Amino acid sequence: MSRLDELKKIVTRVIENEPMAAHTTLGVGGPADLFIEVADEDELSSLMRYISSEQLPWMVLGDGANLLVSDNGIRGVVIHLGEAFQRINVDGNTITAGSAARISKVADTAAAHNLSGLEGVGTVPGSVGGAIAMNAGTHRGYINEVVETVSIVAETGGKRILSREDCGFSYRTSVFQSDKSLIITSVTLNLSPGDGKAIEDHLDSVRKHRAETQPQGKSAGCFFKNPPNNSAGKLIEMVGGKGMREGGAEVSTIHGNFIINVDNATASNLHDLAERVREMVRKEHGIELEYEVRLVGEW
């Protein structure tokens, strides 16, 4: 039996040579050899058993909001989590959300149930799984502060529940960044009673402010991490980076830490521009900007 036929017996959907540009907010990235959608945890678990026995390279695609995929694409399997992974359940002060649910939707659900604790992270773009892996948040709070447990499927197919301590959270990172064998499937959050109307008003005002101070269009959010006690956007503005172009890529004129696809950019355009900006900041300020977007594929 061919590999494709074997996979079709295990999972809901398999596509060969799927362009990643269609699955990333930057709208760039070459083809994935195999693009596989799993319907639920059991399917994911079976797929991982197959992948590890065949020793195939693999990665999980969240909602592609923080990825820069190279123009050559991705060798091996890209796993896409299906609709069951978007479920959100509320039980008292506890919310359990699938890793593919949008974190903003989880925050809105919390507000609708008068639950506080997601005000900081609820305005950040991306999925729950991405938010956990990156420990997303703002000065109003980071997601680690409300995590009770994280359910995962391991590379070998086994299921486990991790405590907050197991997750190794710190600024914009977690164990899921270093241990790529763990796939987040759902998260249980422990929230506290709050004033739903005030929370929703807060979320709305931050979203509005963000829409005014950050560019719309094809972006991956902030390209670089903020260096300690500094702002990458400000540093890039100070070295005159705003408005710089490379092919169809541009450093946003609105916020220097956004490198956007303004006109059919390639992944290389975006990466080259990011490297030019980094070099300028390194030269003038002696600061090495670290990527916040995840670089995937060969560079």
- What is the closest distance, in whole angstroms, from the C-beta atom of residue 294 to ligand EPU in the complex? 12
Closest CA relative to residue 24, chosen from 125, 154, 142 = 125
- Of 237 and 272, the one with the shorter C-beta distance to ligand EPU is 237
Determine the interface stretch with ligand EPU among 177-185, 197-205, 223-231, 261-269 (rule: CB under 6 A).
223-231
Question: Is residue 174 a contact point for ligand EPU (CB under 6 A)?
Answer: no
Site string for ligand EPU, 91-130 (x = CB under 6 A): ---------------------------------x------
Task: Pick one of 102, 255, 271, 278: the residue that binds ligand EPU (CB under 6 A).
Answer: 255
**Which among 266, 270, 260, 269 has a CA at the least distance from the CA of 218?**
260
List residues bridging with 161 in a β-sheet. Answer: 151
Closest distance of CB 199 from ligand EPU, Å: 16
Phi/psi of residue 202, nearest 5 degrees: -65, -50
How far is it, in rounded angstroms, from Cα 220 to Cα 105? 19
- 191 forms part of the interface with ligand EPU (CB under 6 A): no
Task: Give 9 or 139: the residue with its C-beta nearer to ligand EPU.
Answer: 139
Query: Residue 222 interacts with ligand EPU (CB under 6 A)?
Result: yes
Report, in Å, the least distance between residue 241 CB and ligand EPU.
9
Nearest alpha-carbon partner for 187 in 157, 223, 145: 145
Please tell me what DSSP assigns to residue 209.
Answer: H
Helix 103-112, helix 196-213: angle, nearest 10:
150
- The residue (of 15 and 206) whose beta carbon lies closer to ligand EPU is 206
Find the shortest distance in angstroms from Cβ 256 to ligand EPU. 3
Complex with ligand EPU: residue 79 or 222, whichever CB lies closer: 222
User: Rounded distance, CA 166 to CA 149, Å?
Assistant: 9
Query: Taking CB under 6 A as the rule, does residue 221 contact ligand EPU?
Result: yes
Q: 3-class SS at 76?
A: strand
Interface with ligand EPU (CB under 6 A), residue from 233, 249, 265, 278: 233
Residue in the structure block whose two tokens are 């680690």: 144
Phi, psi of 278 (to 5 degrees): -60, -45
CA distance 70 to 43: 28
Q: Is 213 exposed, middle or buried (0-12, 13-18, 19+ CB in 10 A)?
A: exposed
The yes or no reply on residue 256 touching ligand EPU (CB under 6 A) is yes
Residue 147 vs 153, nearer CB to ligand EPU: 147
Nearest residue (beta carbon) to ligand EPU = 221
237 binds ligand EPU (CB under 6 A): yes
Please choose, out of 46-54, 102-110, 225-233, 265-273, the segment that lies near ligand EPU by the rule CB under 6 A. 225-233
